Amino acid sequence: MSSYRQIYYHIVFNTYYRRNTMPAEHHEELYKYIWGIIKNRKSVLYRINGTENHIHIFSDLHPTVCLADFIKEIKTASNRWMKESGKFPKFEHWAEGYCALTYGDRDKDMIINYIKKQKEHHAKVSFEDEYRKLLEENGIEWDEKYLF
Question: Would residue 1 count as lying in a domain?
Answer: no
Q: What is the pLDDT of residue 148?
A: 65
User: What is the residue range of 34's domain?
Assistant: 8-135
Exposed e or buried b per residue across 86-97, where buried means at least 16 C-beta atoms within 10 angstroms of its C-beta:
eebeebeebbee
Q: What is the pLDDT of residue 3?
A: 79
Tell me the average pLDDT of the chain.
94
* 125 pLDDT higher than 80: yes
Q: Name the pLDDT band for 53 (thresholds 50, 70, 90).
A: very high
**How many domains does one find in the chain?**
1
Question: Would residue 144 count as lying in a domain?
Answer: no
Overall average pLDDT of the 59-66 stretch:
94
* 107 pLDDT higher than 70: yes
Question: Would residue 140 count as lying in a domain?
Answer: no
Question: Would residue 84 count as lying in a domain?
Answer: yes
Question: Would residue 102 count as lying in a domain?
Answer: yes
Q: What is the pTM assigned to this prediction?
A: 0.94
Tell me how far apart the alpha carbons of residues 143 and 6 are, in angstroms, rounded to a whole number: 31
Per the DSSP assignment, residues forming a β-bridge with 103 are 8
Overall average pLDDT of the 12-23 stretch:
96
Measured CA distances, 134 to 33, 44, 53, 84, 114 (Å): 26, 22, 17, 32, 12
